[in-house]
């Protein structure tokens, strides 16, 4: 049926969309996949009850309800991404502030892991250092991140 095919296509599209995202964001995106069907079920039942208030005409989820459920899930996914981008920037600023206070001449990934509880691995630390470098907050010199001096 058309609604079922739309749901299957949605789950595939959402998985493809989520694959390149950061792990925490990807995990949230993947949790949305079944929610599209749940949204569609709620919308379908409400629509049917409006047309048949006695509740005798319960039919499978129709295509328009499925499409509306999928649109809602996409909206929530975009909101996750929008909020995550802001959270990521705030987290990077916190890391940079800590680095400037505790290691003003620079540091390597192991030092960053040791000093920041929410950075679990050296690879994660290198990603943080690379993002900060891309934003002009410093530069990578070998294995060291050297902060750009600030003037206050």
Q: Please, which residues bridge with residue 144 across strands?
A: 108, 141
Q: For the packed helices 63-102 and 23-51, what is the interaxial angle rounded to 10 degrees? A: 150
pLDDT digits (tens, 9 = 90+) for 9-18: 999 999 999 8
pLDDT digits (tens, 9 = 90+) for 86-139: 667 778 888 999 999 999 889 999 999 999 988 889 998 998 999 899 989 999
pLDDT digits (tens, 9 = 90+) for 29-56: 899 899 999 999 999 999 998 888 887 7
């Amino acid at each position: 049926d058309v609604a079922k095919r739309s749901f299957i296509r949605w789950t595939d599209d959402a998985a493809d969309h989520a694959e390149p995202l950061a792990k925490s964001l990807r995990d949230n995106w993947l949790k949305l996949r079944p929610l599209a069907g749940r949204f569609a079920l709620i919308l379908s039942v409400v629509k049917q009850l409006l047309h048949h208030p006695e509740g005798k005409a319960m039919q499978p989820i129709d295509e328009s309800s499925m499409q509306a459920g999928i649109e809602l899930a996409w909206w929530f996914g975009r909101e996750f991404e929008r909020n995550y981008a802001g959270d990521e920037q705030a987290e990077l600023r916190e890391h940079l502030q800590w680095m400037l206070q505790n290691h003003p001449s620079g540091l390597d990934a192991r030092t960053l892991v040791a000093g920041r509880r929410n950075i679990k691995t050296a690879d994660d630390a290198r990603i943080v250092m690379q993002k900060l470098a891309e934003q002009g907050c410093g530069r990578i010199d070998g294995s060291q991140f050297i902060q750009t001096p600030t003037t206050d």
